[in-house]
Structure 1
Amino acid sequence: MNSIHQSSAIYNWLQFEVESLIADPGQRPKISSYHPNDRDKVRCAYLQKGPCQPRNHDFPQTACGSSFRRFNPNWFDDYGNWLEYSISKDAVFCLCCYLMKPETEGGDAFVTNGFSNWKKRERLQTHVGIHDSAHNQAWRKCEALMKPKQHISVAIEKQSEQAKKNYQIHLTATIDCIRFLLRQGLAFRGNDETDDSVNQGNFLELLNFLAQHNEEIGSAFKNARGNLKLRAPSIQKDIVRAAASETTKVIVNDLGDELFAVLVDEARDISIKEHMSVCLRYVNKEGQVREHFLGLVHVSNTNALSLKLALESLLETYNLSLSRVRGQGYDGASNMQGEFNGLKTLILKENSYAFYVHCFAHQLQLALVTVAKKQVEIALLFNLLTNLCNVVGASCKRRDMLRDSQMTKTIEALQSGEIASGRGLNQEIALKRAGDTRWGSHYGTILRLISLFPSVVNVLEYCKTQLING
């Protein structure tokens, strides 16, 4: 019992007052009468208190045949770690069997009514029994309960806690990398993200850099579970969406109840889906002019009414209203600044204070395009590019032919070793039409033509053959 007393300090968290527990074993309620969540606490409290052993009690005489006998307090010295005496019943009980022996194993005098045949002292040793007896099994359970650091469940829990800690470290590092890339406006994915790639892209390279220069992060990555997907693109997107949501909340809270202006433009993603981008411009409570991106809205139709409905829907998402708009800035497209049915006009009909200003960035783009057209050689080049886009993209059949030709040439190049394969490499692309209001799109058009030039030539030869054969 000494080992139990030495370990009792670790159970200071018990909510049960030791002195409030019933000491007399003949009057205690069954362990099963306590709530399941409290039973181990009760057991620990009784073990901490120790068996009930009233050594100074005047033990009564009991008739045993032709003689009288009584309990001998010296027996406490021989079986002191479990033997306890009930004054109310003048009987002895077993503390560890009371605490740990399952009720389904049947009755036991040392647990139920107590043992009081003082003539048969050998019954005490019989109760202890052999190594694997019910009493010894109960005693080992008591020792395990009072030594949690050596218990297998604690080892599993400790391992689980370490796994949780490693996961938290891994997740924190992932979020930190994503926040850095978002803050710097850098791309996440690489052209080749395989393990043997010399450049896996900004996200994976940054994670690996952290692991190499931080032992705690490196250890967490090394011991990560095989099914952990924190590096997966889907998880990256989830975290980015969460960051975007929190960022937007900060912007809306900074705006508060102030008036604002909207800056709207149309944009296409890589899948040629039309989107409307919306920015807010306002003066915050500190008198500082702020201009922040609010969000992208997919629009299937780019007429003025569809754009207005999409804009209203986005503003309503953040409890904003067109009535608070005091300025609107767009490009010079007719659906945006049209005098009769443009987006500008539709908003002005509802809010006459939403003054319109032509976007200066678009004015600069238009100026660059106009100047370039004055140079004959440059103008001829981009006219030729426009004609190529019109001819190749004039029908679905020609676009499919361009796609199939490019796929065949890519397979041949892969087989000959001219190009390498890998995640993100050799993606399907198409000719990109230059936009009059986006000077940067002209550069993208040239790059696409260079990549697809052999396939474009095949399509043009097919068109030539069709014209000849009439």
Structure 2
Amino acid sequence: MGQKRGRDAFVSQGFDTWNKKDAFRTHVGGVDSFHNKTKEKCELLMKEKQAINVVLRRQTEAEDHKYKARLRVSIIVVRLLLKTGLPFRGHDESVNSENRGLYIEVLKAIRETSEDIFNNTLENAPKNKVLLIIREEIGQDVFALLVDEYSDVSKKKQMAIVLHYVPSLGFVKERFIGLVHVKDTSSLTLKNAINEVLIICASCRRKDLLREKARERVRKGLCSGELETGRGLNQETTLVRAGETRWGSHLNTLTSLMKLFADVLVVLVFVKEEGGSLANHQQASRILTYFKSYEFVFYLHMVYDILHLMVTLSKQLQRKDLDILEAASMVRGTMEAL
């Protein structure tokens, strides 16, 4: 009743004082009471148009409609290009390219005639759905990678990638992943192309992006005079994983994080926008918000100072020529500093 908590008579204990009718009116309460709100939700749930199964079916039908709109226009474009013998891909299919290839350009022309097709194709289409479903089917199991190289009519080398695996149902599946343009067929080129296609190599892409941003930051710092050159300075660094048994390794982790903090934020933004799964998007978003908070920066510097003092003390206590009095003095000095 309101903000007060009553008995559990109408919930679990049961109601036995039937002669006290006022208890029912008190329980029902006003318009905004818990009873009336619950009653309203129950009535809404029992309405056919708002039932859970109806809502789910309506959402499923909407998704089917979007899928069929994408599939229908894709088949039209594919038939046209196959009939005329024209190449599908372009030299530069990036968003900023003036000519992204016949498949995309024809699709762009068709989608301008229909709002339904426009809202469900190209940049408005769901991303990485096929790869996500395949990854869920494979799970933690093994899989084979089938790679074949060929040249199209324009003598442009293409690499086809197919995944070969056995899902939980027990029968063999082969799923086409995509076509990738390659400049040559060397093992390094093919490896890099495969890394770009599979979501399973997202961590490698993040590390490469982190190194690239760090090198760019050092280059700009050297050019502007903010950084100095010298032996052992400005060496390439990356994030260090903290060890489970050596607590001193946490200092190395914090040190690398503080050096690469701006670059780490860039990588988090990349994962937030381009991550392979919804969980990656959400996790990167939460970490990014926390990293930008005053609370995190304060804790980062505080823990770094504490670990720095403790690691320094630990190294001094491991000296073979250290006597007990000097060790006790070091411990007292460290405690006072803390």
TM-score when scaled to structure 1?
Answer: 0.23
Q: Kindly indicate which of the two structures has a greater share of residues assigned to helix.
A: 2
Q: Which has the higher contact order (CA 8 A, sep 6+)?
A: 1
